[in-house]
C-alpha cells in the first residue's frame, strides 16, 4: 500500500481543502490513536504561528480525547522542541501542526514517536489504513483529558543551551536572528542572548498570517541586508517551524545547508569527534562531496527528506547529515533536525577557532547548480522513455563533471529538475532543456 496522505514530512495542504480540514483532523486523531496508543496514553501537540493552527489544535484535541488519549498542549514551539518534549514528558507520541516553510494559508500535521523520531513509512501506512474506519467516542469513564503545559518552552530552551560547550560563550558576537515570524520567535532570541550574544531580532512578530512572508530561511534577503547594515558577525535564519537553518556571513553572503554541513563535519573531524560517514541527499552539491573527500571523510547520499538522511545515518553509525535546504542533523545533540541547535554548533566552531563564518566555508567550492520547479497537474512517469533519453543526453554533455537529478516533490505538485556541473552556462542550458521536456510529458 502506498501512502496517499503522508508525504516526505507528514501531511500537508491548503487549509480548507482535503486533507487539511477539521473533519479530516478528527478522523486522523482517531486513526493515530488506534495505531500509536491503542490502550490509551498521551500525545503532545505543538504548533507554529499560523492562524489555522488553533482550529487544527482543537480538532485534534477533541479527536484524541474522544479516543481515550490524554492530550498535552504546548502552543507555538519549534518542531524539534516537540520531538524533545515528547520524550522528556513521557508521551507516547507527538504532533506538530505546521506546514514548515510554506505560506500561512497552508498547514500540515506531522508525527514523532515516543523517542522523538519521525514515524516509519510502515506506521504511516497503518495510520492511513485506519482513516477508513468511522471515528467513535469512548465511554465517559474512558475519555482522555487535555491540559496545557506552561513550562514546556523553558525546558526546550534549557536543552538547547546544554548543547553548547560549557567552556565557551557567545560574548563578543553580534548576531541577527530571523525567526520567519514562526515557531522559534521567542525561544531562539532568548537562547542566543542567554549565551552572551548581542541579538538583533527580525521576523519575530507573528500575527498568524506573516509566517515565512519575505523572511526566514526561504527568504533571507532582509537578513543579508541587516547583517551588513549593523556590521554583525553573522546572521541566523530559521524557517516557520524551526527545523531549517541557513546563515549569512558578515559580508552578507548566504551560507546554505550544504556549506553548513561542511563546517559541521570539518569541525568535528579536526576535533577528533566525527563518527561514521556524513550523509547528504541526491540534491547535495557536488562541491560538498569533493570537499569532504579531500578531508578523508566518507560521504553518502540518501533520498530527499531528512527522515531518509536520518535512516542512513543510523544504519551506518553516523551522527552528522543534512540537506541543502538547511535540514541539518546532529544526532548526538538532537533526535531530529533543529535549526537553533545546529546554529549553536556552528557558532561554537567560530568561537573555538576564532575564524569567521566566511573563513570556515571558504575551503568548500560550490559547483554551479540550477534547480527548476516544473508544475504539473498530475503525476508523470519520470522513468518514461522520452525523459530518460533526455537525461542520458544531459549526462553525456556534462560528462563526469556534473549530475542530473529529477524528482517529484513530496509536498507540492511539482517536478524538481536539478542540474549541476563546472560550467554555469552549460548547467543552466541543460536544466532549461530538461524542464521543457518534462513540461510536455503527459500525466501517467
C-alpha cell at 63: 479527536
What separation in angstroms does the CA of 114 have from each of 41, 111, 119? 11, 10, 10
Provide the 3-class DSSP secondary structure of residue 12. Answer: strand
Going from the C-alpha of 42 to that of each of 32, 89, 134, 368, the distances in angstroms are: 12, 10, 21, 48
- Dihedral angle at the C-alpha atoms of 267, 272, 273, 275, nearest 10 degrees? 110
Strand pairing of 41-47 and 146-148? unpaired
How distant, in Å, are the alpha carbons of 88, 155, 162, 188, 425 from that of 166? 22, 18, 8, 18, 48
Cα distances (Å, whole numbers) of residue 275 to 231, 278, 315, 331:
36, 8, 13, 10
H or E segment to which residue 272 belongs: none
Q: Could you tell me whether strands 320-322 and 328-330 are parallel, antiparallel, or unpaired per DSSP bridges?
A: antiparallel
Backbone angles phi, psi at 293, to 5 degrees: -60, -40
Are the CB atoms for 100 and 239 separated by under 8 Å?
A: yes
C-beta separation of 275 from 216 below 8 A: no
State the DSSP string of 129-192. HHTTSPP----GGG---EEE-TTHHHHHHHHHHHTS-TT---TT-EEEEE-TTSTTTTHHHHHH
Cell of 255: 551560507
Instruction: Give the Cα separation of 413 and 12 in Å (integer).
Output: 12
Active site residues: 100
Sorted by sequence, the CB contacts under 8 Å of residue 370 that are 6+ apart come out as 418, 419, 420, 427, 428, 431, 432
Indicate the DSSP class of residue 102. S
What torsion, rounded to 10 degrees, do the Cα atoms 414, 418, 424, 425 define? Answer: -60
CB within 8 A of 233, min separation 6: which ones?
173, 174, 175, 250, 350, 356, 357
| φ and ψ at residue 237, rounded to 5 degrees | -125, 120
What angle is formed at CA 175 by the lines to CA 172 and CA 177, rounded to 5 degrees? 155
Amino acid at each position: 500500500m502506498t501512502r496517499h496522505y503522508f508525504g516526505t514530512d507528514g501531511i500537508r495542504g491548503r487549509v480548507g481543502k482535503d486533507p487539511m480540514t477539521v473533519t479530516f483532523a478528527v478522523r486522523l486523531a482517531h486513526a493515530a490513536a488506534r495505531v500509536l496508543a491503542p490502550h490509551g496514553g498521551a500525545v503532545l501537540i505543538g504548533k507554529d504561528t499560523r492562524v489555522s493552527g488553533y482550529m487544527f489544535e482543537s480538532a485534534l484535541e477533541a479527536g484524541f480525547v474522544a479516543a481515550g488519549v490524554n492530550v498535552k498542549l504546548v502552543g507555538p514551539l519549534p518542531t524539534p522542541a516537540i520531538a524533545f518534549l515528547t520524550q522528556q514528558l513521557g508521551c507516547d507520541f507527538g504532533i506538530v501542526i505546521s506546514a514548515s516553510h510554506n505560506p500561512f494559508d497552508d498547514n500540515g500535521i506531522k508525527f514523532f514517536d515516543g523517542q522523538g523520531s519521525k514515524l516509519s513509512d510502515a506506521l504511516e501506512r497503518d495510520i492511513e489504513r485506519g482513516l477508513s474506519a468511522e471515528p467513535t467516542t469512548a465511554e465517559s469513564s474512558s475519555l482522555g483529558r487535555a491540559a496545557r503545559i506552561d513550562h514546556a518552552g523553558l525546558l526546550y530552551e534549557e536543552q538547547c543551551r546544554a548543547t553548547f560547550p560549557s567552556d565557551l560563550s557567545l560574548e563578543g558576537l553580534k548576531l541577527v536572528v530571523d525567526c520567519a515570524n514562526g515557531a522559534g520567535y521567542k525561544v531562539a532570541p532568548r537562547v542566543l542572548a542567554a549565551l552572551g550574544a548581542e541579538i538583533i531580532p527580525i521576523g519575530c512578530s507573528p500575527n498568524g498570517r506573516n509566517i515565512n512572508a519575505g523572511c526566514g530561511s526561504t527568504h533571507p534577503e532582509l537578513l543579508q541586508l541587516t547583517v551588513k547594515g549593523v556590521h554583525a558577525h553573522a546572521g541566523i535564519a530559521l524557517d516557520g517551524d524551526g527545523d531549517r537553518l541557513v546563515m549569512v556571513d558578515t559580508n552578507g553572503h548566504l551560507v546554505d545547508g550544504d556549506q553548513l554541513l561542511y563546517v559541521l563535519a570539518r569541525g568535528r573531524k579536526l576535533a577528533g569527534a566525527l563518527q561514521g560517514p556524513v550523509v547528504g541527499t541526491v540534491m547535495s552539491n557536488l562541491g560538498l562531496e569533493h570537499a569532504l573527500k579531500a578531508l578523508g571523510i566518507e560521504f553518502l547520499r540518501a533520498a530527499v527528506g531528512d527522515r531518509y538522511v536520518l535512516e542512513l545515518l543510523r544504519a551506518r553509525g553516523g551522527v552528522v547529515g543534512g540537506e541543502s535546504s538547511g535540514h541539518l542533523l546532529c544526532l548526538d545533540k538532537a533526535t531530529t533536525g533543529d535549526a537553533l541547535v545546529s546554529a549553536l554548533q556552528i557558532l561554537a566552531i567560530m568561537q573555538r577557532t576564532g575564524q569567521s563564518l566566511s573563513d570556515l566555508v571558504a575551503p568548500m567550492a560550490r559547483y554551479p547548480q540550477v534547480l527548476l520547479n516544473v508544475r504539473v497537474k498530475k503525476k508523470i512517469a519520470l522513468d518514461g522513455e522520452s525523459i530518460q533519453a533526455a537525461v542520458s543526453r544531459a549526462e553525456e554533455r556534462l560528462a563526469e563533471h556534473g549530475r542530473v537529478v529529477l524528482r517529484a516533490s513530496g509536498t507540492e505538485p511539482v517536478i524538481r529538475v536539478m542540474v549541476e556541473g563546472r560550467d554555469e552556462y552549460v548547467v543552466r542550458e541543460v536544466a532549461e532543456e530538461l524542464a521543457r521536456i518534462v513540461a510536455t510529458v503527459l500525466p501517467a
